[in-house]
Amino acid sequence: MIYRITNFPLFLSIIFSVISCIILFTPPVFAETEAVNDSDDTELNSSLSTHTAWVLGGIGAFTGRIGGISMMLEVCYQRNDILFSIRGMQNGEFKPFSEDYSDYDREISALIGYSYKGQWAYISFSAGIGGLYHVKHSYSITWELIKEKTYTVGLPLEVQMFLTPIPILGIGIIGFCNLNFMSTSIGFLLCLQIGYLWPEVEVQLLL
């Protein structure tokens, strides 16, 4: 028996609402530029930029040509409002009471996007390009197992919504999609992130 997503759990909607409210009612973190004059009337530009970095992992559910369980590991780096990330994913059928082999997809992608960070939460939107590896199991007329492997290039899309109440730990949800001609999928994950989550300020002086 194969389990497919028929509706998204209520707790995802609750988390989405809570994070949205926190982001809405907390001041944004952004880069500033200021200019001052020194005693020699030389203009000194001080540019302040912020950067953060983290690793996240999560588990969730997806639907598409096949449906089942999703697992993700992702490395992210944010400079000011720009987010760079590399993600690895596996989406596989969920067959807990079946002796059949599960079909699955594996993906590795590079993404770039925009992130809006409040004081204790953030939301980001990213897109990129990635490779997809699909494995399908079937049987021959003599009941010999056949393992078919196919490869393609896809367009990964991602939305991150996280609470970051402390500097090194965050929890949130990721909505993801991979658009391709072989096995397009869409789903959600509940994730935990570890890293430098509160922006560090880097000062650049330009004479």
CA 140 to chain centre: 39
pLDDT of residue 47: 52
Range of the domain at 91: 10-29+51-198
How many domains does the structure of the chain reveal?
1
With 50 as the cut, is the pLDDT of residue 15 above it?
Answer: yes
How many CB atoms lie under 10 A from the CB of residue 157? 18
In a domain, 36, yes or no: no
pLDDT tens-digit map of 161-190: 999 888 889 999 999 999 988 878 899 999
Model pLDDT, residue 93: 73
Q: Is residue 191 part of a domain?
A: yes
| Domain-embedded: residue 101 | yes
Per-residue pLDDT band at 35 (split at 50, 70, 90): very low
User: Would you state the pLDDT for residue 10?
Assistant: 53
**Is 116 exposed, middle or buried (CB count within 10 Å of its CB: 0-12, 13-18, 19+)?**
middle
**Average pLDDT value for residue range 117-128:** 87
β-pairing, 145-166 with 169-179?
A: antiparallel
**pLDDT at residue number 36:** 38
pLDDT at 104: 81
Backbone phi and psi for residue 171, each to the nearest 5 degrees, phi listed first: -140, 145
Asked if residue 61 is part of any domain, the answer here is yes
Q: Is residue 108 part of a domain?
A: yes
pLDDT band at 21 (very low <50, low <70, confident <90, very high): low
Share of the chain above pLDDT 90, in %: 35
In a domain, 142, yes or no: yes
Model pLDDT, residue 131: 92
Quick: pLDDT tens for 130-153.
Answer: 998 888 766 667 666 667 888 889
117: CATH: 2.40.160.20
pLDDT at 8 over 60: no
Residue 160's alpha-carbon distances to 58, 136, 173, 189, in angstroms, are: 12, 30, 6, 10
Note whether residue 181 is domain-resident.
yes
Residue 3 lies in a domain: no
Provide CB contacts within 8 A for 73, sequence distance 6+: 55, 56, 57, 87, 88, 89
